[in-house]
Amino acid sequence: MANDLLKGKRGIIFGALDENSIAWKTAERVHEEGGTFVLTNAPIAMRMGKIKELAEKTGSEIIPADATSEEDLNELVTKATEVLGGKLDFVLHSIGMSVNVRKGRHYTDENYDFTTKGWDVSALSFHKVLQTLYKNDAMNEWGSIVALTYMAAQRTFPDYNDMADNKAYLESVARSFGYFFGKDKKVRVNTISQSPTPTTAGQGVKGFDGFISYAEKMSPLGNATAQECADYTISLFSDLTRKVTMQNLFHDGGFSNMGVSQEVMEAFSK
């Protein structure tokens, strides 16, 4: 399916853990389309995952970085531009984590230290990444920065917990920073609001299977897979979407515009 859409383009991909992750599939697609990149993840995630496999497969270097650390991010951006031989054209932020969810704390019973940690990792880290790129003037004109989000930022999914607030914040950062990045450096910043996807991160949410089958029955085109999300991300990294910025783009088979579907109606009219 390769069309050399990203030939000669360079970037950084955050958050590839294993072959189920959207960042992993995006990295493979970028490679197929002729792009080169540096892979990065938090040191702890790197021990858990299989990022070395992906690096070998795509001929990429790994630079560990904690996305909540300004020092790590500065080092990452400096090294990445050295390794890749110039400024960057694309960046994928695929990072999210809630300690409250992990520890089974209900939304009405948050541990605020957990909340702060999750917010820093899932949302503020995006501002930190953008600010580091901006201050280092690390992006080429018409570059593209994408973060992954979920519709719980707009609508209530009871078990999504404080991740919903984190995603709302993340999307706001994309709009606010997108203005300055566009105005000053002609760089676009967007978020992709993806269908529920069975990644390692996604499966941490309670009742996830019910979530997925409900969304499948609600969406006229069915749920978007991780692979399809990778394809969509590629289109946003390419020159074909140069004037798309500050958007939250729903990639969800139509779910976001549905009130009720025939299948869901039938399930309740028996």
Let me know: does 41 contact 16? Beta carbons within 8 Å: yes
Residue 131 has a pLDDT of 98
Give the helix ranges, DSSP H, for 142-185: 163-185
Q: What is the CATH number of the domain that holds 217?
A: 3.40.50.720
The answer, yes or no, to whether residue 265 has pLDDT greater than 80, is: yes
Burial class of residue 156 in the structure, from the number of CB atoms within 10 Å of its CB (0-12 exposed, 13-18 middle, 19+ buried):
exposed
d(C-alpha 21, C-alpha 202), whole Å:
9
Lowest mean pLDDT among 73-82, 117-126, 195-204: 195-204
Residue pair 183/162 in contact by the 8 Å Cβ criterion? no
Whether 25 contacts 106, CB under 8 Å: no
In a domain, 5, yes or no: no
Evaluate if residue 1 carries a pLDDT over 80: no
Q: Is 16 helix (H, G, I), strand (E, B) or coil?
A: coil
pLDDT value at position 185?
A: 97
Tell me whether residue 1 is in a domain. Answer: no
Average pLDDT, the chain: 95
Q: What is the reported pLDDT for 34?
A: 98
Give pLDDT, residue 207: 77
Percent of the chain that is helix, strand, coil (3-state, to 5): 50, 15, 35
Report if residue 26 sits inside a domain: yes
Burial 81-108 (b: 16+ CB within 10 A, else e): beebeebbbbbbbbbbbbbbbeeebebe
Taking residues 200-212, what's their average pLDDT? 77
Measure Cα distances from 121 to 69, 172, 235 in Å.
10, 15, 26
Q: What pLDDT shows up at residue 8?
A: 97
Q: Give the three-class secondary structure for 188.
A: strand
The strand order across the sheet containing 248-251 reads: 61-62, 36-40, 10-14, 88-93, 139-149, 188-194, 248-251
Q: What is the tens place of the pLDDT at every residue in 84-107?
A: 999 999 999 999 999 999 999 999
| 3-class SS letters over 42-68 | CHHHHHHCCHHHHHHHHCCEECCCCCC
Q: Please identify every residue annotated as catalytic.
A: 150, 160
Structural domain for 240, as ranges: 10-268
In a domain, 4, yes or no: no
In a domain, 183, yes or no: yes
Confirm whether 3 is domain-assigned.
no
pLDDT of 137 over the 90 cut: yes
- At 107-133, the pLDDT tens digits run 999 999 999 999 999 999 999 999 999
In a domain, 98, yes or no: yes
pLDDT at 174 over 90: yes
In a domain, 238, yes or no: yes
22 marked as binding residue: yes
pTM score of the predicted model: 0.96
Count up the domains in the chain and report the number: 1
- Whether 15 has a binding-site annotation, put simply, is yes
pLDDT for residue 2: 78
